[in-house]
Amino acid sequence: MNIQESQVNHEFRSSCKINKSDLQSSKMRSVEVVRTVAIFAVIVIHTKPFEDTYISFGTAINVGYLLNQLARFAVPFFFVMSGYFWGSKINSGSPIVDSTRKMSKRIITIFLAWSTIYLLPANLFDVSQYASLGPLRQFYWNIFDLFKHPVQALMEGSRFHLWFLVALINCLAISAAFVALNMKWALICLSILFYGIGLLGKAYADTPMGFHSEFNFRNGPFFGLIFFVTGYVLSGSRRRQSWLILGLSSMAFGTLMHFAEIFMLRALWGTTILQDFVFGTYFMGVGAALVALSNPKLVKLNAIANIGPLVLGIYAIHLVFVDLLHPFGQALKGAAWWGFCYPVGVFVMSLAATFALSRIRLTRKFVV
């Protein structure tokens, strides 16, 4: 091979790789875009739009339920990306203990802050009937109710969506311990075992292999660990633009598998199709992460990418606006336009509030 051919091949190989500088000072724009799409998907799950709308495919199918399940890629995606960026820091030479402590401190700070905030009365009009001490009484009752269910409080804080933060801390601690002991394969096996236990105790609980438990296996490391570990494993691989096709294929396969599973479970055992995780969900979440990490030009939308750094704050605060706008949905029940306006309204209000809090020095650490 002559020098000219060698140079051409080198340039071709280089063009297939993504520069390491893409994630030096800030996350890739494509990652921020997918993060923004994912947080909107989470809001769709919690606002439950179009729950009164049905379409017919031989049988009546609830549109709201379909949207709910299509959005299930979001939380797995967040776990994968958390594991990826944690792993990237370790692979770049950062000590495991320091990286883990820094990440844990940030998550715990946000969890404790918002667990406290959500103890405050959400509807001041309702508590006003108890005179001036009404809000204080409601705050006390909320704390009392929280301590009546200590396990739930430990796993979810004062609002159910905060389970993600606790699960992320669990995944981080377990992964750090195994990686520090150079037990990567044991960690992978443990994550698969946890995922299997979680499925048998939740989505597959009604099957002959499953079991019922009062414990919600969505909480803790049972589902999150396999995604976090997958992100960590991906951080040790060279990112390529070919991940775009791989990611899209994985998402398509995972979505088909996810829906095949939930409809099979309903047909054979009468299980609800509203599931947090099934086997196919894994490929949905990992596929979304691969698309984001492939850094395609089509996903470098600056206006949307600029929202990415605020996603954690949006996640923490959005239930405030879900509750605030919910009465309007009750009054407008059946209005198709509300199905669009409700999630969009929650997203816009959450974004505005998060942005405002991020501009204040005292509250910035609670949202960014």
pLDDT mean over 34-59: 92
Asked if residue 150 belongs to a domain, the reply is no
- pLDDT attached to residue 133: 55
Cα–Cα distance, 86 to 98 (Å, whole number): 11
- pLDDT attached to residue 83: 98
Asked if residue 265 belongs to a domain, the reply is yes
- pLDDT attached to residue 350: 98
Asked if residue 354 belongs to a domain, the reply is no
Helix (H) and strand (E) counts in the chain = 17, 2
- Under the banding of pLDDT at 50, 70 and 90, the label for residue 331 is confident
- pLDDT attached to residue 8: 40
Asked if residue 238 belongs to a domain, the reply is yes
**Of 112, 127, 221, residue with least CA distance to 158:** 112
Mean pLDDT of the chain: 89
Three-state SS at 65:
helix
Cα–Cα distance, 45 to 161 (Å, whole number): 11
Cα–Cα distance, 65 to 71 (Å, whole number): 10
pLDDT mean over 270-281: 98
Cα angle at 93 between 89 and 98, to 5 degrees?
Answer: 65
Question: How many separate domains does the chain show?
Answer: 1
The pTM score is: 0.90
Asked if residue 22 belongs to a domain, the reply is no
**What's the full length of the chain, in residues?**
368
**Of 179, 191, 358, 204, residue with least CA distance to 266:** 204
Asked if residue 123 belongs to a domain, the reply is no
Strand extents, DSSP E, the chain:
54-56, 60-62
Interval 142-188: pLDDT, tens: 787 888 888 889 999 999 999 999 999 999 999 999 999 999 999 99
Asked if residue 336 belongs to a domain, the reply is no
Domain of 192 in residue numbering reads as 76-118+157-293
Return the bridge partners of 54, or none: 62
Q: Which helix (H) or strand (E) holds 1?
A: none
Interval 176-234: pLDDT, tens: 999 999 999 999 999 999 999 999 999 999 999 999 999 999 999 999 999 999 999 99
Cα–Cα distance, 127 to 326 (Å, whole number): 18
- pLDDT attached to residue 9: 46
- Under the banding of pLDDT at 50, 70 and 90, the label for residue 120 is confident
Asked if residue 361 belongs to a domain, the reply is no
Q: Which of 4-18, 277-291, 350-364 has the lowest mean pLDDT?
A: 4-18
